[in-house]
Structures are given as C-alpha cells and as structure tokens.
Amino acid sequence: MNMLQLFVSHTPLWVWALLVFLITRGIAAMKPGEVSLGRLAVVPALFTAWGLWSISARYGASWQAWAIWLVGIGVGAGIGWMLLRHSTLTPNRATGRLWRGADYSLLPLLLVTFAVKYGFESALAMSPTLAGDIGFRAAYLLLSGGFTGTFIGKYLRYLAAWRRATPGNDLKVAG
C-alpha cells in the first residue's frame, strides 16, 4: 500500500483533473444525442497533443520513435473506425451537429488508455533509463500511438458520416 500512496501523492493535480474529465466524457457518450464535431474532436486532439508532447520530450527527433508511434496510430485508427461500424450516425446540417447513438466503448477505452499511459509514465518517472530499453520503448510507443489512433479512428468515422450527408438533407449513415 505504501507504493500506491507514493504514486498517488506524486501525481500532479492536473492528471487527476484529466481523469475526472475523461470519466465525464465517457459517461456522457453513453447517452444518445446530438454532438458537434468540435466536441467529438476534443478527446482525439487531447491524446494526440499528449502523445506529441511525450514523444518530443523523451525521444526528440528520433525518426524510429515517431515511426513506431505512427504505426500504432494507423492500427488504432482502424480499430476506432471498426468500433463504430454498427453505429447509426445522423448529421443535422440545420443544427451543425451529428446525432449518434450511445457509445458504450468510450468510457472503458478512456479508462484503459489512462491506466496504461499512467503506468508507463510512472515507470519512466521512477526509472528514466527505461526510455532506452528497446522492448519498453516499442511497447510504450505502439500502445500510446494505438490508443491515440483509436480515438482518431472513431472521430474519422464521425467525420465521414458528416461528409457523406448531402448539404441540406439529413441522411442516416450506418456502418
């Protein structure tokens, strides 16, 4: 229990605020409704910015690190796209919003992503030399990119549904 208390006490306050924000977003996604594309872009933008910052700070201009992260993003984007394949998405041009059904995948995905990133960042804070370990580095970059890509893929599915709708005509788009 001492180790857990040490982690919690050394975790910056912004990390806990981020966790609360992610939980509220995940819970809100469980209710169907109209949402703006801008609001749907917040989570992918947040994880993309966090990834860019983390990789820049740790690996700088290492093309290998960026390549591994981008591979993770590509795989994750495909997963994110598939997670919404059965969703019915209805653009409403009049309101500028997209009606989407309940998304029960977002909250668990956010919690797992947070836990994995928290775990990696904690391990790196305790042992910075792990950043140079090839196995740890590959896992960190692939998972970080994969989770970020999953949120990007989901957003791309929302964006595709929006773009397929003809202007001025609400069209249901599924899968």
Provide the angle, in degrees to the nearest 10, between the axes of the packed helices 106-126 and 37-59. Answer: 20
Predicted local confidence at residue 154, as pLDDT: 95
Q: CB of 130 within 8 A of CB of 50? A: no
The predicted pLDDT at position 93 comes to: 84
User: The sheet that has 33-36: what strands, in order across it?
Assistant: 33-36, 97-100, 88-92, 173-174
pLDDT of residue 171: 47
Beta strand 97-100 with 33-36 is: antiparallel
Per-residue pLDDT 10s for the chain (175 aa) are 676 666 667 788 888 999 999 999 999 999 999 999 999 999 999 999 999 998 998 888 899 999 999 999 999 999 999 999 888 899 988 888 999 999 999 999 999 999 999 989 888 888 889 988 999 999 999 999 999 999 999 999 999 999 887 565 444 545 5
Q: Under a CB-based contact definition with an 8 Å cutoff, are residues 169 and 91 in contact?
A: no
Strand partners, 90: 99
Cα distances from 90 to residues 20, 83, 170, in angstroms, run: 29, 17, 7
User: Would you state the pLDDT for residue 6?
Assistant: 66
CA distances, 134 to each of 41, 68, 73, 140, 142 (Å): 32, 11, 19, 10, 12
